[in-house]
Structure 1
Amino acid sequence: MKVARILGIPFSIRGFHETVEELVDRIERGEQTHVVTANPEIVMIAQEHQEFRRIVEQAYVVPDGIGIVYAAKWLGLPIYERVTGIELLEALMQVADQRGWKVYLLGASPEVNRLAAERLAERYAGAKIVGHRDGYFSQDEEAAIVQEIAEHKPELLFAALGAPKQDLWMDRYAANLQVSLMMGVGGSFDVIAGKVKRAPRVWQRLHLEWLYRLLSQPSRWRRQLAIPRFLWKVVRETKKA
Structure 2
Amino acid sequence: MKKEQYLGVNVSVMTYSEILDDLRMRIKDGKQSTVIAVNPEKVITANQNPLVKELINDSTYQIPDGIGMILASKIKGGELSERVTGIDMMEQLLRFAAEEDLGVFFYGAKEEIVSEAKTKIEDRFPSLNVAGYENGYVKDNEALVKKINDSGAQLLFVALGSPKQELWIKEHMGSLNVKVFQGVGGSFDVFSGKTKRAPAFFRKFGIEWLYRLLKEPKRLKRQMNLPIFLLKVLRSR
TM-score (norm 2): 0.94
Alignment match, 2:102: 101
Divergent runs of 4+, >6 A: none
- Residues 184-223 of structure 1 correspond to what in structure 2 (within 5 A)? 184-223=183-222
Pair 1:110–1:225, CA change in 2 (3 A): farther
**Counterparts of 1:32 and 1:143 in 2: how far apart (Å)?**
20
Deviations 1:53-78 (A, max 9, x none): 11211112111111001101101111
Pair 1:120–1:28, CA change in 2 (3 A): farther
Pair 1:218–1:187, CA change in 2 (3 A): farther
Deviations 1:3-37 (A, max 9, x none): 11111111111122212222233223321001111
Alignment match, 1:4: 4
1:229 counterpart letter in structure 2: I
Q: CA deviation at 1:128?
A: 1.2
Alignment match, 2:227: 228
- Runs of 5+ in structure 2 lacking a partner? none
Are residue 174 (structure 1) and residue 192 (structure 2) matched? Answer: no
- Asked whether the 8 Å contact 2:4–2:78 carries over to 1, the reply is yes
The more displaced of 176-185 and 19-28 is 19-28
Provide the alpha-carbon RMSD of the alignment: 1.5
The more displaced of 53-62 and 162-171 is 53-62
**Counterparts of 2:129 and 2:102 in 1: how far apart (Å)?**
6
Percent of matched pairs sharing the same residue = 39
- Asked whether the 8 Å contact 1:99–1:127 carries over to 2, the reply is no
The more displaced of 155-164 and 50-59 is 50-59
The more displaced of 196-205 and 149-158 is 149-158
SS of the equivalent of 1:127 reads: coil
Q: CA deviation at 1:167?
A: 0.4
Q: CA deviation at 1:153?
A: 3.5
- Asked whether the 8 Å contact 1:16–1:81 carries over to 2, the reply is no
SS of the equivalent of 1:183 reads: strand
**Counterparts of 2:218 and 2:209 in 1: how far apart (Å)?**
13
- Runs of 5+ in structure 1 lacking a partner? none
TM-score (norm 1): 0.92
- Asked whether the 8 Å contact 2:108–2:135 carries over to 1, the reply is yes
- Asked whether the 8 Å contact 2:55–2:166 carries over to 1, the reply is yes
Q: CA deviation at 1:233?
A: 1.3
SS of the equivalent of 1:89 reads: helix
**Counterparts of 1:124 and 1:158 in 2: how far apart (Å)?**
16
**Counterparts of 1:107 and 1:218 in 2: how far apart (Å)?**
27
